[in-house]
Amino acid sequence: MKRWDQRPFEVRNLFNPAFCGLILFRAMQGYEEENVDGMPFSLLLLVLPLCLHKDSREVIAHNSRSYLLRTVEKNPSLLVGFADRTSDLMPFAFEALGLLMEHGCFSLSESGRMKTVPDKVRKSVTGTIESISCQRVARIIGKEFARIADRVTVYTTFGIRP
């Protein structure tokens, strides 16, 4: 990964560690609404490729009342390039998690699950229309991952070998 000042302007804005960390944090919060044990690390890596990709985000937001597995089944376009996006965004996810960890925004449970720490991130969802959309979809994804409750099923659904 390039040093911060050597990255293109667009990359610095879109993949800002604070913004990506906020997206991951919102997904963890959504997960904890359904399962208080916390979110597995492996599922957290799938959040950014779903939230930052506009077409995927719009499909998920539009089908927010439907189960995620059914949404993927009805919209196979979600799977196009997903594995590559996941690999490409992994360094940014790690960087964002590092920033969240540095600021004490999450803790690790005995079982290795990631749990949010209360009052570390503002509860209100604010920002531009695009950033609000990313945060809301992250919460939806977190809740849906918790409802599915099986990492292998989630990874297989998105065409990635666990």
What is the per-residue DSSP string for 38-80?
-B-HHHHTTHHHHHSSHHHHHHHHHTTTS-HHHHHHH-GGGGT
- Tell me the pairing of strands 114-116 and 106-108: antiparallel
DSSP-assigned beta bridge partners for residue 116: 106
Q: How many residues does the chain have?
A: 162
Compute the average pLDDT of residues 111-128.
Answer: 87
Of 8 and 154, the structure prediction assigns the larger pLDDT to 154
Of 162 and 45, the structure prediction assigns the larger pLDDT to 45
What is the model's pTM?
Answer: 0.92
152 with 40: CB under 8 angstroms? no
In the predicted model, what is the mean pLDDT of the chain?
90
Q: Identify the three-state secondary structure at position 114.
A: strand
User: Does the pLDDT at position 94 exceed 90?
Assistant: yes
What's the pLDDT tens digit per position in 12-42?
A: 777 899 999 999 999 999 999 999 999 999 9
Tokens linked to 86: 């996941």
User: Does the pLDDT at position 148 exceed 90?
Assistant: yes
